[in-house]
Amino acid sequence: MAERYALGIDFGTESGRALLVNVETGEEVATYVHPYPHGVLDTALPDGTPLEHDWALQDPNDWIEILTVTVPQVMRAAGAAPEQVIGIGVDFTSCTVLPVKQDGTPLCNLPQFKSRPHAWPKLWKHHAAQPEADRITQAIRQRGETILERYGGKMSSEWIFPKIWQVLDEDEEIYDAADRFIEGGDWIVEQLCGQEARSSCMAGYKGMWDKEEGFPSPELLKSLHPKLENIVGTKLSKTILPLGSKAGELTAKMAELMGLKAGTAVAVAIIDAHSAVPGSGVTEPGKMLMVMGTSTCHMLLSEKKMKVDGMCGCVRDGILPGFYGYEAGQPATGDIFAWFVENCVPYPVYEEANNRGVSVHYVLEERAARLAPGQSGLIALDWWNGNRSVLVDAELSGLMLGMTLTTRPEEMYLALIEATAFGTRKIIEAFAGSGIPITELFACGGLAERNKLLLRVYANVTGLPIRIAQSPQTCALGAAILGTVAAGKAAGGYDTPQEAAARMARLKDEAYAPDATAHQAYTDLYQEYTQLHDYFGRGTNDVMKRLRKMRG
């Protein structure tokens, strides 16, 4: 019998990727990455129309190009026949939202709207809806509603309601012309199978939907703007499908464009970071997955629905069906280290890296690895891009303390790694304090792949063992896993993501066990981190906000 394959299609910020996986063994048979031709539109539209500060858009036609370019490439590379592919899964950045006509046509594809910024998809990192986000937070609080408790207490400018309201605020004609607003991931699934199947993951984490409590009330929405009162059920679908569901079957048209078989099962979309959970084989409560790249997402399954300080979201069926999926995050980790290497590393380190043919990161890591906890005399707060968990405050900024005339670059580099580890420990303690203990850490993503020192520090700071996902593309693998579940056992797939992940996802042999002495030293340092964290983060001294305001 021929091998059975699943396709995971991963839509990132700068590029998209197809991954063809053996359903039986999890072997990653072929993968292909293709950059979006228009990348991120953050200064102008393709026709030159300028964009304001904090805007970030994408072109939906680029997403289609991912489907038509990357899928044929992996099929060809694997020598796979269309009928060998039993299911397709999609993971996508979120909340990336676009206004469409009833038939799914993006407004930006209509000639009359192509120069109107609000007709284009707003990418997850479009931050220009901050005023709307703040006003929604305020409105919810004034009404005494508890809806934000599931989201750490604050509406994020990245989420769907602020982004939609910004359209209405700034270009009402576009708002009126939009028959629907839809997540990019849901839109791609709709393109694949010809019908909308709104993802519980995206609706839950970014759309204020809750399986038990439903949607934001018309009263709340009306208090924002009369036109928003009935948006749920008109411009936003009320039909939410849990992850692991089948969204539909591949249309003949798309099958032809992608070189696949019409009727192939298509899974409900999942957010990219969340997809790494099944992709790393993490399918039980008590295990936290850290998706580590420029930023870190912390994912956790639980049977309990609790209020946890500063978590970004708690969604039933949000990561795997049957569990509450919790998300927390640090908005800069790899980004801080990259900033440091770009801005703070002196010539001799570059020279050494060049002479040895290694990266600057490598030299710093090698030197920093020789330092014991506390030996640098430094401590930092990891808020270069604000704080997304526990404090949920984007206006916080970085701090480093303890420098002397003998402080060396590798000491500062280590202090930054330690600071991000302390930030993760804060998140773990917030969950534990809410009755959701975490006993084991898992890591995936580029940073976890590359930086052994980082993982050692994280293990020593948290006192928890860390295992690393085997796959370097856990998001795409997670999507493929959901594709096998959409297909179902009868079609050669699986009945649950747990079952599929157990067969298809695996961990590396290497593991990082905490060292007791180092953990004790880091626990002392963590007390210092906590005192600074609370002093600068909880309003005793709002100097970071005042400096931000002065900076203008």
Minimum distance, C-beta of residue 394 to a second copy, in the bound complex (Å): 10
Edge-to-edge strand order for the sheet containing 296-302? 313-316, 324-330, 296-302, 287-292, 440-444, 466-469, 507-512
Minimum distance, C-beta of residue 38 to a second copy, in the bound complex (Å): 23
**Binding residues for a second copy, total number by CB under 8 A:** 49
* Piece in contact with a second copy (CB under 8 A), picked from 6-14, 62-70, 212-220, 540-548: 540-548
447 binds a second copy (CB under 8 A): no
8 close to 472: Cβ distance less than 8 angstroms: no
378 close to 415: Cβ distance less than 8 angstroms: yes
259 binds a second copy (CB under 8 A): no
551 binds a second copy (CB under 8 A): yes
* Piece in contact with a second copy (CB under 8 A), picked from 74-82, 341-349, 471-479, 506-514: 341-349
Distance CA 88, CA 191 (A): 13
Minimum distance, C-beta of residue 398 to a second copy, in the bound complex (Å): 3
124 close to 163: Cβ distance less than 8 angstroms: no
Distance CA 336, CA 383 (A): 9
359 binds a second copy (CB under 8 A): no
User: What letter would DSSP give residue 91?
Assistant: E
546 binds a second copy (CB under 8 A): yes
Minimum distance, C-beta of residue 272 to a second copy, in the bound complex (Å): 21
| 197-256 residues near a second copy, rule: CB under 8 A | none
176 binds a second copy (CB under 8 A): no
374 binds a second copy (CB under 8 A): yes
Distance CA 87, CA 31 (A): 16
Q: What phi and psi values does residue 171 have, to the nearest 5 degrees?
A: -155, 75
Minimum distance, C-beta of residue 371 to a second copy, in the bound complex (Å): 10
Compose the 393-432 pattern: x for residues touching a second copy by CB under 8 A, - for all others.
Answer: ----xxxxxxxxx-xxx--x--------------------
Minimum distance, C-beta of residue 332 to a second copy, in the bound complex (Å): 6
Q: Which two tokens stand for residue 348?
A: 């001799």
344 binds a second copy (CB under 8 A): yes
Distance CA 392, CA 387 (A): 5
Q: At what angle do helices 452-462 and 409-433 cross, to 10 degrees?
A: 40
125 binds a second copy (CB under 8 A): no
**Other residues' Cβ atoms within 10 Å of the Cβ of residue 515:** 15
By C-alpha distance, which of 392, 357, 332, 379 is closest to 151?
392
Complex with a second copy: residue 79 or 346, whichever CB lies closer: 346
**Of 50, 212, 347, 355, which one interacts with a second copy (CB under 8 A)?**
347
For the chain, the straight-line distance linking the first and the last C-alpha, in angstroms and rounded, comes to: 65
**Of 71, 315, 328, 332, which one interacts with a second copy (CB under 8 A)?**
332
Distance CA 256, CA 264 (A): 12
Minimum distance, C-beta of residue 446 to a second copy, in the bound complex (Å): 17
* Piece in contact with a second copy (CB under 8 A), picked from 80-88, 128-136, 250-258, 377-385: 377-385
Distance CA 61, CA 417 (A): 39
Distance CA 412, CA 375 (A): 11
370 binds a second copy (CB under 8 A): no
Q: Which two tokens stand for residue 281?
A: 């084989």
Verify cis geometry, omega within 30 degrees of 0, for the bond prior to 95: yes
Minimum distance, C-beta of residue 374 to a second copy, in the bound complex (Å): 4
Complex with a second copy: residue 242 or 398, whichever CB lies closer: 398
Q: What phi and psi values does residue 87 have, to the nearest 5 degrees?
A: -160, 155
Distance CA 395, CA 131 (A): 14
Complex with a second copy: residue 105 or 527, whichever CB lies closer: 527
| 480-539 residues near a second copy, rule: CB under 8 A | 521, 524-525, 528, 531-532, 535-536
**Of 48, 79, 226, 346, which one interacts with a second copy (CB under 8 A)?**
346
Distance CA 271, CA 200 (A): 10
* Chain positions contacting a second copy, by CB under 8 A: 332, 335-336, 339, 342-347, 350, 374-379, 384-385, 397-405, 407-409, 412, 521, 524-525, 528, 531-532, 535-536, 541, 543-544, 546-548, 550-552
